[in-house]
Amino acid sequence: MPSRPEIGLLELGTVPYAQALALQHRLRARLIDGDVSPGFAGWLLVLEHPPVVTLGKRGEPGDLVQPEQLRAQGVECFEIDRGGEATAHEPGQLVIYPVVDLEALDLGVVDVVRGLAAELSDALGTFGVEAAYDPDHPGIWTQGEPSHKLASVGMRVRRGTTTHGAALNLVNDLSTFSMIVPCGMPQAPMARLADLVDAEEDSIQPLSFARRVYPGLESLLGAELRDADVELPTADDWAEPINY
């Protein structure tokens, strides 16, 4: 048995939101049912999504301020069980979902939420961008005036197991955000790393950026990240979008 818990690292590329949500639920069920090896504490999903909007527990269809345009572009919308309101995902945005057993890691959900945000903020700092988590408006915001939102952060805990996570704007075009009320804040000033730094584009692609964060996440979680494989849910098991 390893000296530290193991977490399976899943670098999944671009995955439809419906499929990724079904995968999170499947992996959560395995942890809750104890269908894992001794010393195994969960998975870290690292991926991107095609354009999609999600509504947290405080979100509502009225947050979709340009529904006709969203529909015309084929953007699906999902009501999900994380906290918060509306946010968007797009290709070029780094999405990290920790599906982990908090008891096995001896952590609370606040530890994971704020720790994940801190590790992403630290990685932004390596590009000279000062940013930090704001618990009053959950997410990662640039420092100084005016402040801009770089990442959404929100999780759900069920029977001690987490789902959802963080989405950091890197090279996505932000167009989907213009058609919603992001995080319940009309005219919320969204930003992406590509517009804040003069860096080689390869260095700020989602997977390249994620790999800067892994050592800090291992320290935060007190666990070892190990490459893992998983069978993705077939379309019959995908989550269903809402009609809007």
User: Whole-angstrom Cα distance, residue 101 to residue 161?
Assistant: 5
Q: What pLDDT band is residue 51 in, cutting at 50, 70 and 90?
A: very high
| Domains, in order of start, for the chain | 6-218 (3.30.930.10)
Q: What pLDDT band is residue 234 in, cutting at 50, 70 and 90?
A: very high
Residue 230: per-residue pLDDT: 96
Residue 201: per-residue pLDDT: 84
For the question of residue 77 being annotated catalytic, the response is: no
Nearest to 20 by CA among 242, 243, 237, 244: 237
The answer on pLDDT for 1 being more than 60 is no
Residue 213: per-residue pLDDT: 98
In the set 112, 117, 181, 183, the catalytic residue is 183
The lowest-confidence range among 47-56, 129-138, 178-187 is: 178-187
* Helix, strand, coil share of the chain (percent; to 5): 30, 30, 40
Q: What is the mean pLDDT of residues 108-130?
A: 97
Q: At what angle do helices 206-221 and 109-125 cross, to 10 degrees?
A: 130
The answer on pLDDT for 193 being more than 90 is yes
Residue 119: per-residue pLDDT: 98
The lowest-confidence range among 115-119, 128-132, 197-201 is: 197-201
CA-based R_g, the chain, Å: 17
3-state secondary structure of 95: strand
Residue 2: per-residue pLDDT: 53
